[in-house]
């Protein structure tokens, strides 16, 4: 069993992710993974550990992805700015310019908006299509933005 597989099992990763590693070590899996959701899950569970990204770094990347979904929501609810405000305040928290209490306040309002949007079939289907289409693109962004242990730089790029 590889170190990565042991880590994933210890953290409670889904069986599909554990199976996908198929003998890969962390650097190889990180370089080849096309599942941004798995990558964010892993860095989220390892946040703050030596060599891993901070929670703020991870949240900034997640904010970037959330912004991609905003046009779908805003098309359906053009006057509802709660999700956009939640992303903005969350970014401020990452920069040390807002409190977690402020994030929780706007997050609660954004959840209410997102719940209303998800109730609309067209919005939910559109979001799923965007999410599935963008997995590889998001995985590439995560590799560019978040440094993890055992990932080396070659010619200025992470491998």
Q: Give the pLDDT confidence of 39-86 residue by residue, as tens digits.
A: 999 999 999 899 999 999 999 998 888 888 788 778 888 898 888 888
- Gyration radius (Cα) of the chain, Å: 17
Task: Place 154 in a pLDDT band, splitting at 50, 70 and 90.
Answer: very low
**Residue, of 48 and 156, whose pLDDT is higher:** 48
Q: What is the pLDDT of residue 120?
A: 47
Cβ count within 10 A of residue 129: 11
Confidence bin at 159 (pLDDT 50/70/90): very low
Contacts of 35 (CB under 8 A, 6+ apart): 17, 20, 135, 139
């Amino acid at each position: 069993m590889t170190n990565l597989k042991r880590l994933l099992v210890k953290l409670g990763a889904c069986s599909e992710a554990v199976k996908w590693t198929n003998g890969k070590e962390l650097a190889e899996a990180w370089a080849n993974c096309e599942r941004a959701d798995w990558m964010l899950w892993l860095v989220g569970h390892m946040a703050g550990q030596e060599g891993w990204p901070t929670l703020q770094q991870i949240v900034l990347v997640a904010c970037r992805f959330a912004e991609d979904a905003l046009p779908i929501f805003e098309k359906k609810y053009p006057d509802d700015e709660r999700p956009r405000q939640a992303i903005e305040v969350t970014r401020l928290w990452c920069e040390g310019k807002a409190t977690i209490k402020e994030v929780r306040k706007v997050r609660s309002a954004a959840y209410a908006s997102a719940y209303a949007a998800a109730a609309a079939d067209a919005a939910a289907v559109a979001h799923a299509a965007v999410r599935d289409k963008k997995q590889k693109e998001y995985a590439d962004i995560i590799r560019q933005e978040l440094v993890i242990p055992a990932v080396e730089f070659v010619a200025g790029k992470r491998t």
